[in-house]
Amino acid sequence: MEKMTLSVIKADVGGFIGHSSVHPELLEKARESLEGSKLLIDYHVGHVGDDIALIMTHRGGSDCEEIHKLSWDTFVACTEVAKKLKLYGAGQDLLADAFSGNVRGMGPGVAEMELTERPSEPVIIFLADKTEPGAWNLPLYKMFADPFNTIGLVIDPKMHSGFIFEVLDLIEHKYVHFSLPDALYDMLIFIGAPGRYCVRHIYSKTTGDIAAVSSTQRLNLMAGRYIGKDDPVCIVRCQSGFPAVGEALEPFANPHLVAGWMRGSHHGPLMPVSVAQATPTRFDGPPRVVGLGFQLCGGRLIGPQDLFADPAFDRARAKANELADYLRTLGPFEPHRLPLDEMEYTTMPEVKERLKHRFMSVNPEELLAEAAAGE
């Protein structure tokens, strides 16, 4: 069967109200822009918080110029609407003035997967707001490498030989493959540091097929100035040799702490929510994730099913709220506030410069002498 491509391209081109959600007119404009396109087999316009996600199927492959241009033009059209309504931060993720072949590196987040549709092809598209791509590391590890989460790794013959993880170093722009379970401990030293190392692709060792892909843009590194945390997306194929839908959702039942939240400068729990609950307003958060389930049918997107709109995730939400309550009591102190080099807002250089003449040098020899005299 012919390969097709599933592309998820997302951007924040204006918030309603502040950075909390997307105005319905923007979603309408995005649908209008994709509707007429002959390039697409099908599309769905998703959203989480202040981000629009263009979920598209087509035959152009990954990094297809026409598809990226269509997405760019769609976000530009949405920006016009955002400007007209004076929405907040209109066009904030469109870093370049004009499209130049590929949206990677221009602002929008991208996750794309080329696949040959199986007889039945369930996929989940996870969309997160107020966090960064490394937020997927822990759940992807649990889905594809942790038998306490995914019993399929133990009892499904099509999963039992494990998966290959491709991990990207966001600073040095290099990637490396780990064949699991053998290289598990080697991999964890990297992906346990999600601000720098991100799981980008996962492949089945049984079939060699692509199993998952995440967006790995870091706007703050690309733009050289504060733009916002990168509000990542992730595609996961499910069932028949991949994690069952329930195994792919299970990691989110225990909300883990991610970087992002208010001013992209805090740790907070990643709360799994329905689309209707995906408007983060408490201290601009806490960070949210929605899960949109689709069955692919000759490239048609049958769905979405709003996968976290299940009362079975109520306790995860309650736990996330408890964690949020606790972390908020720490106010501007770490570990609620991010370490100095990861904050997206800081007054440090200016304050330090202003106070520099008031800092006195400590003389270690004097201190040692004082300590010795005190004995």
Dist. CA 359–CA 349, nearest whole Å = 14
To the query of whether residue 229 is one of the catalytic residues in this protein, the response is yes
Q: Does 130 bind ligand F6R (CB under 6 A)?
A: yes
Q: Which does 263 bind (CB under 5 to 8 A by kind): Mg ion, ligand F6R, none?
A: ligand F6R
Instruction: Give the number of residues in contact with Mg ion, rule: CB under 5 A.
Output: 9
Of 17, 8, 64, the C-alpha closest to 39 is 64
Nearest to 299 by CA among 44, 28, 31: 44
What is the CA 113 to chain-centroid distance, rounded?
16
CA–CA dist 8, 233 (Å, integer): 7
Number of residues that bind ligand F6R (CB under 6 A): 11
| Nearer of residues 162 and 260 to ligand F6R, judged by Cβ | 260
The rounded distance, in Å, linking the Cα atoms of 129 and 260 is 9
345 tagged catalytic: no
State which of positions 1-20 bind Mg ion (CB under 5 A): 12, 15, 19
What's the CA gap between 24 and 20, in Å, rounded?
A: 13
Known catalytic membership, residue 209? no
Please tell me the distance from the alpha carbon of residue 330 to that of residue 73, in angstroms, as a whole number.
43
Please state whether 71 falls in left (phi above 0), alpha (psi between -120 and 50) or beta. Answer: alpha
Which one of 264, 299, 303, 304 is in contact with ligand F6R (CB under 6 A)? 264
The CA distance from 251 to 149, in Å, is 7
Q: How many CB atoms lie within 10 A of CB 261?
A: 29
The answer to whether 336 contacts ligand F6R (rule: CB under 6 A) is: no
Peptide linkage before 232 cis (omega within 30 of 0): no
Under the binding rule (CB under 5 A), the answer on residue 132 touching Mg ion is no
Residue 51 interacting entry, from Mg ion, ligand F6R, none, C-beta within 5 to 8 Å by type: Mg ion
The rounded distance, in Å, linking the Cα atoms of 247 and 252 is: 10
Q: Which of 44, 68, 263, 317 binds ligand F6R (CB under 6 A)?
A: 263
Q: Which of 46, 107, 122, 228 binds ligand F6R (CB under 6 A)?
A: 228
Letter for the amino acid at 125? I
90 vs 198 by CB, closer to Mg ion: 90
Residue from 106, 210, 262, 320 binding ligand F6R (CB under 6 A)? 262
The residue annotated as part of the active site, out of 10, 29, 142, 229, is: 229
Q: Work out what residue 49 binds among ligand F6R, Mg ion, none; the CB cut-off runs from 5 to 8 Å by kind.
A: Mg ion
What's the min distance (Å) between Cβ of 91 and Mg ion?
11
- Reading the block at residue 111, the tokens are 């996750």
| Distance, CA of 148 to chain centre | 24
2-41 footprint of ligand F6R as x/- string (CB under 6 A): ----------------xx----------------------
- From the candidates 10, 12, 141, 197, which is the catalytic residue? 12
Positions that interact with ligand F6R (CB under 6 A): 18-19, 89, 130, 228-229, 260, 262-264, 284
Positions that interact with Mg ion (CB under 5 A): 12, 15, 19, 49-51, 89, 129, 231
Residues acting as catalytic residues: 12, 226, 229
